[in-house]
Amino acid sequence: MIYKLETDALTALGHPGRLAVFRLLARRAPDAVRPSEIMGPLGLKQNTLSVYLATLSRAGLITSERDGRSIYYRIDLKQIGALVQFLVVDCCRGYPELCEPLAAHSLQRLNTDAEAMTDRIFNVLFICTGNSARSIFAEAILNKEGRGKFRAYSAGTEPSSSLNPYAIDLLKQLDYDASGLRAKNLSEFQGIDAPQFDFVFTVCDDAAHEDCPPWAGQPMTAHWGVDDPTRCEGTEGEKALAFREAFRQLYHRLSAFVALPIASLDAMSLQSKLFTIAQSDAPTSPGSTADV
């Protein structure tokens, strides 16, 4: 039996424009996104996007919420999981030989991941547009706080960039080694000689909107968006405060990340933890390193 909810979902995703919207929201998961953040990257007009969002909503693939006068959209992760389960379970009842290799591969990968995640150093890549501040903060923080467990890298999606002096000054003030930091383009990590990453995080919304090629090894991914401190306009003190806030948020999230019992978590549980960290920004306790 074919269920209406599943057929509606598959029909909605069968249109290239609607699929592009869905994929952008998936890259931003679990964040909610304003329509204006979708129109620009995808080059859509407002009325066209409204039609696409309405269709995806009726199909149960996305949800919406209002905050004041603004409406935000996000993918429905539970519904997406149900759709995938439907495709595997229902469709493969007639042809189980199609699903057995997939199931066996998934189980083998989970077991392999659990074994591989014991007693080794994890490669982590942080991506933003300019690679001048936020991703540089994340690289420096994780290489210090996660030393011996993680090896951090960072890159930007813009063709060229340079380190922001406010970011470097703050790192030095907080006793982080900035001597080896440099701005890097994402292409540096997409060649055959590049490190194979276990985790890839975007730390700015613009980078999350970009449709990057799949990463080798299928690393865990998440979007940990932080406001861009380089866009702050005001006094020198206000600019410095913006950089301190960006650092604080990243320090808080990376502290939670370093504390995860990665070796004891299966892939689904670990991905859920990464999503939870993305939505966390608890106040920093007095006297902590991040209280800057």
CB atoms within 10 A of CB 127: 26
CB atoms within 10 A of CB 202: 26
The C-alpha atoms of residue 146 and residue 3 are separated, in whole angstroms, by: 47
The C-alpha atoms of residue 261 and residue 171 are separated, in whole angstroms, by: 28
The sheet that has 199-202: what strands, in order across it?
Answer: 150-156, 122-128, 199-202, 220-223
The C-alpha atoms of residue 213 and residue 219 are separated, in whole angstroms, by: 12
Please spell the DSSP secondary structure of 77-115, one letter per residue.
HHHHHHHHHHHHHTGGGT-HHHHHHHHHHHHHHHHHHHH
What residue spans of the chain are helical by DSSP H? 4-13, 16-28, 35-42, 46-58, 77-89, 96-116, 134-145, 165-173, 205-209, 236-258, 267-278
Q: Which sequence positions are flagged as catalytic? A: 128, 204, 212
CB atoms within 10 A of CB 56: 26
Structure tokens at 231: 């866009």
* Secondary structure (3-state) at 133: coil
